Amino acid sequence: MKALMGILLAAAIFLGGYTLINQPNRVPDLILIDSGGQPTNLEDMRTGRENQMLVFMMRKCPISKYSVTIVTQLVARYRHKIAFTGLYFGSRADARKYRDAHKIPFPVYGIKGAPDPLAINELYEEIGDNKGTRKVIYGGTIVFIDQDRYVLFKLSKDEIRELPERLADLGF
């Protein structure tokens, strides 16, 4: 009986650890400032759609421009199912200039000066790539999340070409 209890306890610990390790990353509920100067969060940005595509953008970054080009081609087809959201590594004014200059057909928010900088740090921890002793999010990175902000997939650098296939894998 003791041996059986030991086996059951070991199995429970293993499965609990396995579940903890294999849980999908969850994006923090970012609060950013919209174009009207009002605070808004990811749920508000999603406007009732089940999924949201976060596109990270950076000035003078060819990969950001490439991502925006690919995503822009998909907006008309999926805008009723997916909320497209740009997150620009800069101020709200810089984000607006970038959006206008590249004719981006979805909202773009500046993350510099966000009301909750700790949430921005959490974002880096959850979805950032390891670079030495810190985590980074590369310009052009695309993160697809569900209504509970769990990451369904993340594409960066050379993976960006896979976006149409990854959406198809999810039934889009």
Into how many domains does the chain fold? 1
Is the model's pTM score more than 0.75? yes
Domain that holds residue 119: 25-169
Instruction: Evaluate whether residue 14 is within a structural domain.
Output: no
> What is the CATH classification number for the domain harbouring 134?
3.40.30.10
Is 87 part of a structural domain of the chain?
Answer: yes
Whether 139 is in a domain gets the answer: yes
> What is the pLDDT, as a whole number, of residue 20?
43
In a domain, 48, yes or no: yes
Mean pLDDT value across residues 126-136:
83
Q: Is residue 93 part of a domain?
A: yes
Rg (CA), the chain: 19
Q: Average of pLDDT values for 133-154?
A: 93
Q: Please write the tens of the pLDDT for every residue from 9-45.
A: 555 555 554 444 556 799 999 999 988 899 999 999 9
> Do the domain assignments include residue 12?
no
Tell me the average pLDDT of the chain: 88
The pLDDT score that the predictor gives to residue 18 is 44
